[in-house]
Structure 1
Amino acid sequence: MDLQIIWDELPLYFDGLLLTIQLVPLSLLIGFVIAVPLAVMRLSKNPFVNYPVFAFTYAFRGTPLIVQLFILYYGVGTLDGYSELTKEFNFLKGAYFFALLGFTLNTAAYTAEIFRGAMAQTSFGEVEAAKACGMSQFLIFRRIIIPSALRRALPAYSNEVIFMLHGSALASTITLVDLTGAARIVQSRYYAPYEAFITAAVFYFVLTFLFIWLFRLVENHYNRHLKRREETIQVVT
């Protein structure tokens, strides 16, 4: 291991880190906002509401992320009228937009199914109690089903966040210099694969640890009542 190579190229890695922490949280945030209403639609018994969402989630969960990125990056730009559209909306051109779009749609599909499963497991008694209080269907979803489902979905969603972080390495395949892209540049400059990719792996490891730590804090916050109940049961017994 030549540590001098790593030291000399640290600025490049930090630039790649900056791009990674721009892409991943932003795509997760937008994907989360999209996924919640999609999950509600998936629970609908109306086929005209349910089936289109099912088709969307099935398409993005059933194909590799790298294929989705290639279709967006290499395919959308060739559509008739797209070049004219980019003249009006400059942000639509470039690899960054397509990477963000691909990551957002992919995580929205997975997250929607995670939340749908959590919503479907909502206790029947909770819903009946809300109806007895005179809540409308919209209010039941907003106050009962969605909040409790989000708590139950936290462990599964934390895995999706980690998968999205690791999947963001594919941004380098469409010319973006993220952490993996920085490692590929270092490899091509020095022909030092260990120094290049182990350094990137360390950065990913630290980011993964931070995400896990943050989710553990959130889970502990929202599950405090369960711990208190367990402590009460232990005291009684």
Structure 2
Amino acid sequence: MEFSWIFSYWPLLLSGARQTLLLLVISVGFGFLLAIALAFAQVSGGPAVRLLARAYCTFFRGTPLLIQLWLLYYGVGSLLPMIPGLRQSLFWPILREGFFFAAVSFTLNYAAYEAEVLRGALLGVPKGELEAGRAFGMSRFTLIRRIWLPRAIRMALPTIAGEVVMQLKATPLAFTVTVMDLYAVAFKVRQDTLLVYEPLLVVTVFYLALTALIARAFRLMEAQVPLRR
């Protein structure tokens, strides 16, 4: 095994790790907020809203993430330059990068999976707790903010942790749209040095360590907020 190349490539490795983490944080953060809206749309929305939310989740859960990513990058991305004035706008430096399309694609995909998790958790909250909140005179917004949503999230924490790890493992797909994430750096090292296993082992160690940290963080959250029955 030869690992001396790490001393030459460590700035690029750090940059790739930062890109991977940034993709994970953006997609999980914004995706979770979208998932909450989609979950409530399915649980308590009107017929039309419920149908649209279900269609969204069915589409993004029923098609491969790689195809969604390529549809955005090669499809929508090829149409953006045709919009008058967009190339001269402040947004073009962001919109022309593969990172933007990867972040959007990962966010939309994560939201669909997480919405189904939260939908099940929302339906699993005991009705007695919601009725007790209404009996205290809570408004619908207060009831959601203080009882329904926190209770559902706590019940779904183990599944949410698994979804975050799955999202982490999906980030190497960003390499296919020119994003220089950690896997892309490993690929470059392999091209430059003709080493195959060593760069992949470094990437493996990074993902294992980050997975362990995520699992530990969610276990701490579960311990701090015990589930009452």
| Normalised TM-score (structure 1) | 0.90
Counterparts of residues 27-176 of structure 1 (less than 5 Å): 27-44=27-44, 46-79=46-79, 81-82=82-83, 84-88=85-89, 89-90=91-92, 91-176=94-179
RMSD: 1.7
Distance 1:216 1:83, change over 3 A: farther
Compute the displacement of 1:83 (Å). Answer: 6.6
What stretches of structure 1 of length at least 5 have no aligned partner?
230-237
* Aligned pairs, number: 226
Compute the displacement of 1:183 (Å). Answer: 0.7
Equivalents in 2 of 1:97, 1:16: separation in Å? Answer: 15
SS at match of 1:8: helix
Compute the displacement of 1:9 (Å). Answer: 2.3
What stretches of structure 2 of length at least 5 have no aligned partner?
none
What percentage of residue pairs aligned between the two structures are identical? 41
Asked if 1:207 corresponds to 2:213, the answer is no
Structure 1 counterpart of 2:193, which letter?
Y
Distance 1:83 1:5, change over 3 A: farther
Compute the displacement of 1:45 (Å). Answer: 5.3
Partner residue, 2:2: 2
Compute the displacement of 1:71 (Å). Answer: 0.6
Equivalents in 1 of 2:204, 2:11: separation in Å? Answer: 16
Say if 1:73 and 1:174, in contact at 8 Å, map to a contact too.
yes
Compute the displacement of 1:206 (Å). Answer: 1.0
Equivalents in 1 of 2:145, 2:122: separation in Å? Answer: 12
Q: Please give the per-residue CA displacement for 1:109-149, whole angstroms capped at 9, x wherever unaligned.
A: 11111111100101011112122222233322222110100
- Which range moves more in the overlay, 75-84 or 65-74? 75-84
Q: Radius of gyration: which is bigger?
A: 1
Distance 1:40 1:86, change over 3 A: farther
Equivalents in 2 of 1:194, 1:83: separation in Å? Answer: 47
Structure 1 counterpart of 2:86, which letter?
L
Distance 1:83 1:94, change over 3 A: farther
SS at match of 2:44: coil
Equivalents in 2 of 1:7, 1:200: separation in Å? Answer: 15
